[in-house]
């Protein structure tokens, strides 16, 4: 018989397992179950009870409750939600909450190990692991707006995981788990924490995310090749104005139904998603020059962007 001491449990773990175990032990205490009409997940990100989750988890829920990993339960209130990015902030007054550490999603690399923690199908504190499958994805929100810089992962997500954290091997939160593609397997998405952090600060300040608006309804339309050549356009599409809201910036600038918006302040507007990317909060009250096609004529209109209500 060997006189060597038996290896400890920690020594029997390979490097990958140690990384997953360590990250889970660090992040799990901050992960909560969010109970409303259904159930989802969330995670504490400040010691005074602010919790990040998905907008679709809490939207329309009149009563919110959270359950902590230590078994404590308590009421929560909605601070604000942003369906455009599927991010929401709620708050509980339960004491002694361990906040999760927030990382940086912009520094992620494809192939990097990530761990999803949540409460799928009511099974609390469930852990799955995988890798970052792709970066810079776009995901359509419930409002029709694109969520940019979404993380794709093969860490398994199920109903109830929504709102829970996606963490790196250090246990730092790099994303909020938000969606799966059914019936595909291993194609899951998380909103990057860089986006979520910015949105959360706006929700904590204002209860909503402030964005500018034009006051039109529109859809992408193909620009005729002859018209594009006539005006030296390199884009193939623009936004066809279907209607103009009375008193809106578009109304004051004399935009008309049937116009095709092709640029704003030199930024190409080839479709509705380009328009959404342009209309950020920093442009509220700012002047802009809109380029449009009216029939075959190219026109420019001065606009002052207003805040969307």
Mean pLDDT by 10 residues, the chain (309 residues): 60 81 96 91 97 95 92 96 96 96 94 95 89 93 89 92 96 95 86 94 93 93 95 95 95 97 96 91 94 96 92
Catalytic residue among 56, 84, 105, 276: 56
CATH number of the structural domain spanning residue 152: 2.40.10.120
CATH number of the structural domain spanning residue 257: 2.30.42.10
pLDDT of 2: 55
Residue 217 sits in the same domain as residue 72: no
Q: How far apart are the first and last CA of the chain?
A: 77
Q: Domain residues for 297? A: 212-307
pLDDT of 15: 86
pLDDT of 8: 64
pLDDT of 10: 60
Residue 169 sits in the same domain as residue 104: yes
Number of domains in the chain: 2
Q: Is 33 a catalytic residue?
A: no
Three-state secondary-structure class, residue 146: strand
Question: How do strand 173-180 and strand 216-222 relate by DSSP bridges?
Answer: unpaired
| Confidence (pTM) | 0.84
Rounded to 5 degrees, what angle do the CA atoms 294, 305, 231 make?
Answer: 30
Rounded Cα gap, residues 68 and 124, in angstroms: 9
Cis peptide bond N-terminal to 48, omega within 30? no
Residue 179 sits in the same domain as residue 220: no
Rounded to 5 degrees, what angle do the CA atoms 122, 144, 85 make?
Answer: 55
Residue 235 sits in the same domain as residue 202: no
Residue 153 sits in the same domain as residue 7: yes
Q: Is 162 a catalytic residue?
A: yes
Residue 107 sits in the same domain as residue 158: yes
Rounded Cα gap, residues 215 and 241, in angstroms: 10
Catalytic residue among 82, 84, 86, 274: 86
Residue 2 CA from chain centroid, whole number: 56
Domain boundary among 184, 206, 228: 206
Residue 263 sits in the same domain as residue 160: no
Q: Is 70 a catalytic residue?
A: no
DSSP string, 151-180: EEE-S---TT-TT-EEE-TTS-EEEEEEEE
Domain boundary among 206, 233, 258: 206
Catalytic residue among 162, 168, 212, 276: 162
Backbone dihedral region of 250: left (phi > 0), alpha (psi from -120 to 50 degrees) or beta? alpha
Domain boundary among 144, 172, 206: 206
Residue 175 sits in the same domain as residue 270: no
Residue 233 sits in the same domain as residue 120: no
């Amino acid at each position: 018989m060997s006189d060597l001491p038996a290896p400890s449990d920690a020594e029997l773990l390979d490097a990958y397992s140690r990384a997953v175990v360590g990250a889970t032990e660090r992040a799990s205490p901050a992960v909560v179950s969010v109970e409303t009409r259904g159930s989802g997940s969330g995670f504490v990100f400040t010691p005074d009870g602010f919790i990040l989750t998905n907008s679709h988890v809490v939207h329309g829920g009149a009563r919110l409750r959270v359950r902590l990993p230590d078994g404590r339960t308590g009421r929560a209130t909605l601070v604000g939600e942003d369906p455009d990015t599927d991010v929401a902030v709620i708050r509980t007054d339960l004491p002694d909450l361990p906040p999760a550490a927030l990382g940086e999603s912009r520094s992620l690399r494809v192939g990097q190990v990530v761990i999803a923690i949540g409460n799928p199908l009511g099974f609390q504190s469930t852990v799955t692991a995988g890798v970052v499958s792709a970066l810079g994805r776009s995901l359509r929100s419930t409002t029709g707006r694109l969520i940019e810089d979404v993380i794709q992962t093969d860490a398994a997500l199920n109903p109830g995981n929504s709102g829970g954290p996606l963490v790196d091997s250090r246990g730092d939160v790099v994303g909020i788990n938000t969606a799966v593609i059914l019936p595909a397997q291993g194609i899951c998405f998380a909103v990057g924490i860089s986006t979520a952090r910015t949105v959360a600060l706006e929700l904590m300040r204002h209860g909503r995310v402030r964005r500018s608006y034009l006051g039109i309804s529109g859809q992408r339309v193909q620009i005729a090749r002859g018209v594009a050549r006539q005006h030296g356009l390199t884009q193939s599409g623009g936004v066809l104005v279907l209607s103009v809201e009375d008193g809106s910036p578009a109304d004051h600038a004399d935009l008309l139904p049937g116009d095709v918006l092709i640029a704003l302040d030199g930024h190409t507007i080839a479709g509705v998603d380009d328009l959404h990317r342009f209309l950020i909060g920093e442009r509220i009250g700012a002047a802009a020059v809109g380029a449009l096609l009216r029939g075959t004529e190219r026109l420019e209109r001065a606009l002052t962007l207003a805040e969307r209500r």
